[in-house]
């Protein structure tokens, strides 16, 4: 692990919100349990409410009790003693109590303490907080973490990007996409570049299609208002699925340092062909419109399946099928490289029987399906599977993605964060779909989505 960072002051905007409860606060506590936080630190939560330090500590305790790690484990008393809350919101015109609480924290940590701002707030609030950081002198030498999506349209992305760069230098900005922090996502490039068996077949010559599937059984009841203004395309496609596709498709980088990995991902994203709405299926699960917080007659997509093409020599002609949705048959997070059937003496081989799969869920796993001779006198072929659970590797210390990414912010490693040139290219890729979206087709809850989506590929998860 990297050297322990120096004294650090965290400011968590949206500290009492759903994202902070489910993801960010549990990640901070996991870092404390693993001994990966700085020796000296303070976390200041910020929100509109007038919450005492003690009540905020109780809020964090309740969040950890619900989402883990349970506060009964690990250094809870020491952790809680470093939590503060600054109420009254934070804006250029009115900073609330944040400046006073930060001044008090700096008196304990020292004026040179690293300042890290984490914006666990809706994207619509990013510009106001960013401007206020500059107005109140909290931007200089700070690191600022932006949750996804970074913009909600091509124009809002450009506007936000200009504003951010007026206040911050690019090296201060950490645009988080937690799919890039998953252990198995990182193994997409490690398995490829460390193993000639995989590296040799990683191209259009051997791969028939690439499937990226993130079906979810969950609905949107807990965040219906936010989701109805966003939908599957903005919530998942433009963010997670495009980034994972880039991780699969990038050319070998010069090295595995942060600048090299970022540059390789962004370069291949620029080769993404703009989506053809005729090759996209949108869906909305039955009963969605009856959820409290959903607009009457809403046409928001809760499902998207899109065929993506990459116009470069390695991938030309290989379809990348990206698929995700709510209220589906299973919850999975998998990347599947479907290999072509070999030409040779064995005829009538079953189609799509050779698949390399990276399971991105949990601690991750790599799975290979292949054909083998069934033991016996006849030449009978039988499909088989070989699986490598990554957590079972010797001395494995898997970290949840938010834990890994927040640790990277602490150490200043931007390898697993997105850059504006790549994000600009993703918005160009999705723009035709945003301009002319097909009507979402209804699909039953617990299904695999709209039936017409099955026409986009000859092999699909759940087939």
Q: Which residues are annotated as a binding site?
A: 14-21, 48, 148, 178, 182, 216, 235, 326
Q: Which two tokens stand for residue 66?
A: 């619900």
pLDDT tens for each residue of 372-383: 888 888 888 878
Q: Which two tokens stand for residue 241?
A: 């699925």
| Domain 8-147 -> CATH class | alpha beta
Instruction: Give residue 1's pLDDT.
Output: 41
Instruction: Give residue 149's pLDDT.
Output: 86
Tell me if domain 8-147 and domain 179-399+439-456 are identical in fold. Answer: no
Relative to beta strand 280-285, strand 355-359 is: unpaired
Q: How many CA atoms lie within 13 Å of 195's alpha carbon, on the beta-carbon side?
A: 10
Instruction: Give residue 184's pLDDT.
Output: 82
Q: Which residues are annotated as a binding site for substrate?
A: 178, 182, 216, 235, 326
For the chain, domain boundaries: 8-147, 179-399+439-456
Instruction: Give residue 25's pLDDT.
Output: 98
Q: Is the dihedral of CA 170, 171, 172, 176 positive or negative?
A: positive
- 431-437, Cβ contacts within 8 angstroms, sequence gap of 24 or more: 431/154, 431/274, 432/274, 432/275, 432/276, 432/277, 433/233, 433/275, 433/277, 433/280, 433/306, 434/153, 434/154, 434/233, 436/277, 437/233, 437/277, 437/280, 437/282, 437/301
Radius of gyration over every alpha carbon of the chain, rounded to an integer in angstroms: 23
**Contact in structure between 322 and 461 (CB atoms under 8 Å):** no
pLDDT tens for each residue of 172-189: 999 999 888 888 888 888
Instruction: Give residue 459's pLDDT.
Output: 52
Instruction: Give residue 461's pLDDT.
Output: 57
Instruction: Give residue 261's pLDDT.
Output: 87
Q: Provide the whole-model pTM.
A: 0.89
Q: Which residues are annotated as a binding site for NADP(+)?
A: 14-21, 48, 148
The answer to whether residue 240 is catalytic is yes
- Catalytic-role residue among 165, 240, 385, 407: 240
pLDDT tens for each residue of 440-452: 999 999 999 999 9
**Contact in structure between 300 and 207 (CB atoms under 8 Å):** no
Low-confidence ranges of the chain (pLDDT < 70): 1-3, 73, 351-352, 458-463
CATH of 179-399+439-456 given 1.10.3720.10, 3.30.360.10, 2.60.120.260, 3.50.50.60? 3.30.360.10
Distance, in Å, from the CA atom of 317 to the CA atom of 164, rounded to the nearest integer, reads 37
Instruction: Give residue 460's pLDDT.
Output: 52
Instruction: Give residue 152's pLDDT.
Output: 86
């Amino acid at each position: 692990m990297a050297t322990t960072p120096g004294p650090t002051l965290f400011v968590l905007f949206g500290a009492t919100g759903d994202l902070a409860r489910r993801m960010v606060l549990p990640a901070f506590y996991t870092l404390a349990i693993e001994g990966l936080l700085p020796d000296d630190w303070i976390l200041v939560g910020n929100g509109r409410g007038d919450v005492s330090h003690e009540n905020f500590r109780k809020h964090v305790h309740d969040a950890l009790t619900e989402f883990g790690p349970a506060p009964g484990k690990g250094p809870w008393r020491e952790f809680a003693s470093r939590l503060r809350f600054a109420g009254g919101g934070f804006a250029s015109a009115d900073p609330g109590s944040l400046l006073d609480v930060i001044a008090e924290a700096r008196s304990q940590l020292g004026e040179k303490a690293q300042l890290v701002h984490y914006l666990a707030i809706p994207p619509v609030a990013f510009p106001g907080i960013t401007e206020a950081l500059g107005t109140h002198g909290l931007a200089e030498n700070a690191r600022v973490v932006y949750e996804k999506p970074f913009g909600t349209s091509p124009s809002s992305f450009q506007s936000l990007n200009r504003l951010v760069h007026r206040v911050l230098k690019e090296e201060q900005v950490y645009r988080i996409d937690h799919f890039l922090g998953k252990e198995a996502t990182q193994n997409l490039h490690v398995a490829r570049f460390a193993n000639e068996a995989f590296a040799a077949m990683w191209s259009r010559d051997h791969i028939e299609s690439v499937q990226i599937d993130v079906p979810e059984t969950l609905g949107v009841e807990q965040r219906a208002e936010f989701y109805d203004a966003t939908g599957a395309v903005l919530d998942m496609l433009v963010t997670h699925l495009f980034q994972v596709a880039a991780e699969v498709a990038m050319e070998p980088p010069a090295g595995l340092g942060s600048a090299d990995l970022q540059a390789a991902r962004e370069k291949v994203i620029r080769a993404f062909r703009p989506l053809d709405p005729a090759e996209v299926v949108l869906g909305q699960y039955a009963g969605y419109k009856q959820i409290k917080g959903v607009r009457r007659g809403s046409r928001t997509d809760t499902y998207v399946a899109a065929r993506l093409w990459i116009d470069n020599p390695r991938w030309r002609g290989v379809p990348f099928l990206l698929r995700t949705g709510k209220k589906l048959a299973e919850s999975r997070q998998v990347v599947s490289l479907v290999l072509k059937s070999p030409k040779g003496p064995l005829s009538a081989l079953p189609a799509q029987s050779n698949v390399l799969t990276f399971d991105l869920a949990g601690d991750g796993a790599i799975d290979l399906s292949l054909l083998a001779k069934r033991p016996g006198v006849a030449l009978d072929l039988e499909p088989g599977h070989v699986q490598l659970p990554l957590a079972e590797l010797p001395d494995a210390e898997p970290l949840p993605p938010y834990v890994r990414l927040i640790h990277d912010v602490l150490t200043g490693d931007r390898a697993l964060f997105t850059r504006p040139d790549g994000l600009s290219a993703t918005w160009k890729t999705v723009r035709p779909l945003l301009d002319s979206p097909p009507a979402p087709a209804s699909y039953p809850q617990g299904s695999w989505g709209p039936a017409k989506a099955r026409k986009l590929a000859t092999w699909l998860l759940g087939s």
